[in-house]
Amino acid sequence: MRVLFVVFLLCISSSFGSENEPVGIKAKGLVELDLADTQFVSEIKQEVLKSVRSWRLRETLEADVTNYTNEILDNVGLYLVENGMDPMELSDELVDLLLLGKINMTNGWLQELSSIGTYENVYVTYSNDTKKLELSLPLSFDSLLITYKYKYTYLLITISGNIKAKISDVKINLHLGFDFSTYQAFVNKIDVKSSGKIDFEFTGLGLLDWMIDAFSSVLTTLFHNLILGIINAIVYNPVQSVVSQINSVINSILHPNSTSNIMML
């Protein structure tokens, strides 16, 4: 999903106001990075060279890009829906409760990934001391829903039913930017601020309280890990891919005969 956030790295550095203009960000619409498109690569090169000339003269600046971020996230949510990722089908799971039996879960679905948004204002900053343009994205999912059909077996007991798990208040931070001392874009690993609160609803004839407690305890860990893995796949991995591609283009500009070395100021 390369469409995520690429415009931040391609155009945000040239969107600050000049010394006589207010600092702000103008939304330019989402684009997909396609290095096979020679015109697009040429535009990237022009943007990079323009940014390098501009930012060498800057000191410390900050801009509120919350509205711009939310515009992008609205498009990301639409992208997820249109590309079959909301709802997202989940793999079957077999959970061993050791002495308490086993749960076989099938027909799993994760819903509401398209609710991605921000939980705080978003700022992009530049410091002449560090020579870094940095953006920290406080991303959240207000409410996610996991559903499964289950079959529980314990000795001669067999119980079938449905599981609904509502996960609220999932919050992560994604930190990315551009280092003008090396001319390299970067993105850090996702910082999980809150893995969310899970509320379970079980159906099934004869389900006892001790079974519900056992189910909830094991499934809480399973679903937290599942959600964080999916978020990493749809947020961090695409951004990391974009960062690597952008750095390859930059290296091809700065080092036409070698892409393995990094040019230092």
- Mean of the pLDDT values across residues 181-204? 91
Q: What is the CA radius of gyration of the chain?
A: 23
Q: Could you tell me which CATH number the domain at 6-254 has?
A: 3.15.10.50
User: Which residues face 178 on adjacent strands?
Assistant: 133, 185
- Which pLDDT belongs to residue 263? 42
Which token pair is 218?
């094991």
Which H or E element spans position 63? Answer: strand 61-64
Q: What's residue 259's pLDDT?
A: 42
Tens of pLDDT, residues 154-176? 888 888 999 999 999 999 999 99
Strands 132-154 and 116-118 turn out to be antiparallel
Please report the pLDDT score of residue 39 as a whole number: 63
Residue 152 has pLDDT above 50, yes or no: yes
Q: What is the average pLDDT across 211-236?
A: 90
Residue 229 predicted with pLDDT over 90: yes
Distances in Å between the Cα of 2 and the Cα atoms of 15, 100, 150, 190 are 22, 44, 35, 17
In this predicted structure, which of 50-54, 111-115, 219-223, 233-237 has the lowest mean pLDDT?
50-54
* pLDDT score at 45: 55
Token digits for 228?
Answer: 């964080």
Asked if pLDDT for residue 151 goes beyond 80, the answer is yes
Q: What is the mean pLDDT of the chain?
A: 79
Residue 219, pLDDT above cutoff 60:
yes
- Secondary element (H or E) of residue 254: helix 237-254
Residue 185 has pLDDT above 70, yes or no: yes
Ordered by start, the domain boundaries in the chain are 6-254
What pLDDT shows up at residue 47? 57
Arithmetic mean of pLDDT, 52-70: 73
pLDDT tens, residue by residue, 26-49 = 434 444 445 455 665 566 556 555
